[in-house]
Amino acid sequence: MSRIIYATSILVLVCAFSAFASVDFTHGGIRAGYVMPNDIDNTVGFGAEVGFGLPVPNLSFNLEGGYWSKSYEEDLLGTTWEAKFTDLNFGLSGKYEMPAVPNTFHPYLGAGIGYHMLTAESEILGMSVSVDDNKFGAHFFGGFRVPFNPIVSAFVEARYTVVDPDYFGVWGGINYGFAK
């Protein structure tokens, strides 16, 4: 049995390396945004991404990670109620960058899937409750990229994420291109 697992693992690794042989690292970047979750007050989120180019013109994909959190503290009848909601997520997105004049405004559209590690915590009168829920979700986005020079560019993006709770975000960030 262990030989089958070992052989399957080697086969998967060989296929993965073969697939990545035609893929180029294009950029790494950071992002921050204003996140508006359903049924939770608005908050700020952060993230990072690594981009990969494909042999198809104007098409790429990103590996992404993100985090947002919202905390509450209320006085209820002389006692303090605290609550916190978080989403730590990792995803894969496909992106189509529309043709544009070089060194100007570059619009794009995309979609992807993500794995969300959601947490809700609450405490009142010394009693606490915590609920963890891991879910797959989908996201759809559009935005534009503006290059500062051949390596560094800024971007602004609107993104809707479908996971419970669904949320809309407006993100901005900086990407650093990798030289070829």
- Tell me the CATH number at 53: 2.40.160.20
**pLDDT value, residue 22:** 58
User: When comparing pLDDT for 127 and 64, which is higher?
Assistant: 64
Average pLDDT taken over every residue of the chain: 85
H/E/C letters for each residue in 23-41? CEEEEEEEEEEEEEECCCC
The tens digit of pLDDT for each residue in 7-55 reads 555 555 455 544 555 567 888 999 999 999 988 889 999 999 999 887 7
Domain that holds residue 81: 25-177
pLDDT band per the 50, 70, 90 thresholds, residue 125: confident
CA dihedral for 31, 67, 109, 165, sign (positive or negative): negative
Residue 3 lies in a domain: no
Q: What is the DSSP string of 103-172?
A: TS-EEEEEEEEEEEEEEEEEEETTEEEEEEEEEEEEEEEEEEEEESSSSEEEEEEEEEEESSS-EEEEEE
Mention every residue, 6+ apart, whose C-beta is less than 8 A from residue 91.
Answer: 63, 64, 65, 66, 112, 113, 114, 115, 139
> How large is the average pLDDT for residues 71-94?
88
Residue 167 included in any domain: yes
18, part of any domain:
no
Q: Which of 167, 90, 164 is nearest to 133 (CA)?
A: 164
Count structural domains, the chain: 1
| 120 belongs to a structural domain | yes
Residue 3 has what pLDDT? 56
Using DSSP's 3-state secondary structure scheme, residue 95 falls into strand
- The share of the chain scoring above pLDDT 70, in percent, equals 86
Asked if the model's pLDDT at residue 173 lies above 60, the reply is yes
> So what's the pLDDT on residue 111?
97
Cβ–Cβ < 8 Å for 143, 111: no
Distance CA 52, CA 129 (A): 41
Confidence at residue 11, expressed as pLDDT on a 0 to 100 scale: 55
User: Quick check: 162 pLDDT over 60?
Assistant: yes
Give the global pTM.
0.80
pLDDT greater than 80 at residue 77: no
